[in-house]
Structure 1
């Protein structure tokens, strides 16, 4: 009956399974009252006409004829009201289950049986059990098959075996995202990914997982490979970007092991091919580990620090991921440091003594309340007056600013300090003090320079902090910072920090500014986080500002002498002054969006250029030369163009070329250079084992299921929602449909027949 009605309404029975709901809408409903009155009048007239028909006409037949006439009139009047029937139609369709097979380079890895992962995946699908599994899925669903590697996604009518692994990147998230785009709006039973989980490029899996959850699509994953393959992978080499010749430098190597517990090996450190250090390693447990060693660079130049892990027994799944690299520069010059304070407090005295011992530091001091005669002693580090000219102040690599009365740091001097940081790219370290710094500098230019907010902080409460001991705590950023590393290993460094003597005073500051990095904190009951910053760092214009919120670091000397005090301040000095070591031309500041790139990456170069009098250059374009370090003949002209509304600022964008070391040179008062490396980094083999945890978590988070390849035949049982009910709305103009006019003709015919039977004209 339903199908007959659907046909009568002009619906394609093959496209609709059932009518779930219906309703009627009148297009000219505004005439409804008039139509009702008209219908009432005509109905009364019809009844009166049949009531006056011959008496021998039976009453029941008289009523039937009147009713048929009223229905006919009602249908005719309905034509003018234009009734539209709104149908809710349902159709059951098979869902789609796209299968994505990973054929990136890591799928070519052979395991203990000598068979590659991709071969195992193909074998599993081609086996009788795999074919039965596919037939089961295709009975109720559409099952398109894709392969992916890097940014490539290819659909196959039928997989052409054998597949060959290709590409140096695995982008699982990118492949899933593309499939979701392709089937947008189509009912999906889920997405099936067959992979080793070696995600290393493209859109993040977290973002794709959120997209899947929002779309209500489950991700089913089949893991290929051994999750416990023996492997060690070097993940990162940490070393300062600029080093001083003949100074011992720490190098940290982070590496991850799998299935290697109890094994041993060594990490060999080499500088541009020459071995410089070696550390024996005993692997006590699998996971992320790190080793730190010291080496002494000897000669100036550009180098690549390489860390190579050598396994003693030589047995592991993959040797390609055993090496990590980092670029560095060795310079041979002294750091020019200016130490400013009002009076020689304890921190000043110990800091001055430490800096005078440092052979790599060229120290200048100025005390506003100091004896000017001291400056006249031959060899004295003291200045007779505050450097008042830009060319004098800007010549320093680092300025250490102490507890000074704002009346002595006049507006002109503060402005000069601001230009030193923002314009000349200098480094400023501000050491707090009980008398003035920073509380007395509210609403001055120095307040803008600092990485902390202190407006409204109580000076009296800050002074009261000296009445009780304060333990300092490293933040996560502080634990990672080489500047605060007191021991060879992070764990040892943290232990040393926790055992350091307490301080007895810290500046009362509210919080760090939004872009600042907090490295060290103290307890603070008035703070929402329960801690206030003591050491905070941020960029300001072309330079950097470090806030040291205490003058009590000298207390770290208790029982151990100057050991930790010297280590801490020495690393702070070298970290803050290091930016100036990158260039021999102080009036040309070059920076980029990174120091290490992969081929094809966009390299954005920014230059800040000044004249000899420290005025911004006004040229519309500046020429530079890009040279490849390993091939002097490979040179390329680069044009840096002025950035509108930013005097002295220039910008250029390059495309990272073939792997190698590159140097961009810009001419100023001296030649300034910017070095970067295009790495031959193949992250595809950074991890040898199956990343089972990643695949399992993705499936769980999206409502899917994870299966190892050996249990592939269980997949059909995991996918239960195979058909979807598609709902659609269809509006039919009932008043103009054949069904409606057929009904009118039927009513007229019925009345005519009854009248004939009743022998009425």
Structure 2
């Protein structure tokens, strides 16, 4: 309970008025005493007048009392009874129809544990549309509908329920659906998506049926892959496996080449899932056109083994030997030089060239045999840099470099679209005297170099978690390598990042006026990209970092993925597209939802996604992909599969007049059987519907009579009662009673 005040007058005015009224009461008491009024009646009359002053004060304060209490919330259930022709089949254990079976099961006393006894039930019958169902109609209800549309029934039943409420405010409440059906949905829209949009959980109660020996089958429904990949780079294949009756059966997808197994991916289905999608990844070690085979294997006993797809899938990938040339310049030997050199030379996607200073302008040159650029000496102009894709500058003093080379770096990055990596060190403060160089950096440097002694704990910044630098496939344990990174011995912290730059690594315990100290940052300059690393002890990740299952350390993965993320893009290799239909096997006449995901370093605002559906016989349907507001790299489109057959879905990414990527996938559209056809109860579809909407399948075990559980499930709501003592005239009546009593006593006792 709470008491609030809404005074008519200000506080000071109320205080003055109260004092005046109390003085008047004191004067009246003195007047009565001079009239020789007995002490008892003098006390009574004075008390009545003090009470009147108090009531007047309360009236001016306008008190409002609020009383709150918890009570069981309104619990409404919308019972949807399927009256389509399929519910007229008499394949239940007792020989009754499916419709009669679910209605009888609903009357089972054990359903009290699901809260049905405490709920207010609103009954609806539906086939293609929903209609209210009166109690008198239930006993003579017939299952003769010509279609079954869950989505339309959900929307129409909810509207009819809300329109029938007497309290308009109660329309905001969301009831629960209880679906009595056999799971055979013929609607065009996805019932799970419609129920999720309405925000209503769907509980399901299927009819009992005589168990039939169901055939189990598992197939590879779809495989998507990048059509070309660089030698040594990661090849990704998106595989979709479909199952029927294989819940809990262990299997695996095997990727092989010429009979030699390359990758195995375990596959086990839980009960509600019909399809499972995952990414296979490996690194090709030979160039050329490669043919890879995918098949399904199982270790289950023969009696419980599913029927696996016989042919599997064969995909063709072009493995190319194209690589990027990297030039590394170090003014002196540091631990980072041999470790980084080893990473670059061990990656087939890169060719290493390096210069290590020995003092007095003398450099030792290193290089791989496969490199395309062979310098006769230290580069001194833009022309000598043209063949390189990325330049890595160690702790270099700009005044030790040729002046023409300093001027060439800006053109190399901003105009040529190449990449620059700067690894800071003790000489970083000398860069402040060269504005052309500091303009390339994604950070503002600290005067004096910004040395911070360690240990300096580091972590991935929040804005960099989706960066390609820290990419890790879904479900891979490689994500764990970024959670606990070794501390840095020292960092050369910049002041702050520049606008539009992305902080990749930051300190967890050291800050300045602009936030956590920056350890690594990245941004775009003109057509090129620049990566800044503010420490020369990143090599500790190689020695102390946690290895993944493939033996890779955080140091190796960071530099491999960072150099790939900033390397200059070439036409046709910028973006990979992954298409994901909501199902690979669709019934004729249903909506097909296709999701698309773009992977690549090209900004999404610079590209357009176009798609089409090829349905055979020259029928092509354009698709309009819509970007998702929460993730611009994800798109979605919908089309209707109106004819049976195999549909090929194709998508292209366009940017700058070029096709930057393509993808294709297939779905199978099966003929729509007539309502009432010989179809078994699809309990799996009902379970998936309940799981997707936050509902459940109602179970009827023999000992399920637990009314206490239902009471615990029932939610409580808080009601608030408001008592306005001014508006309901209580104070005015009290004041009238007190003053009337005072006048009556004085009249009867003769004190007037």
- TM-score when normalising by structure 1: 0.48
- TM-score when normalising by structure 2: 0.48
Rg larger in structure: 1
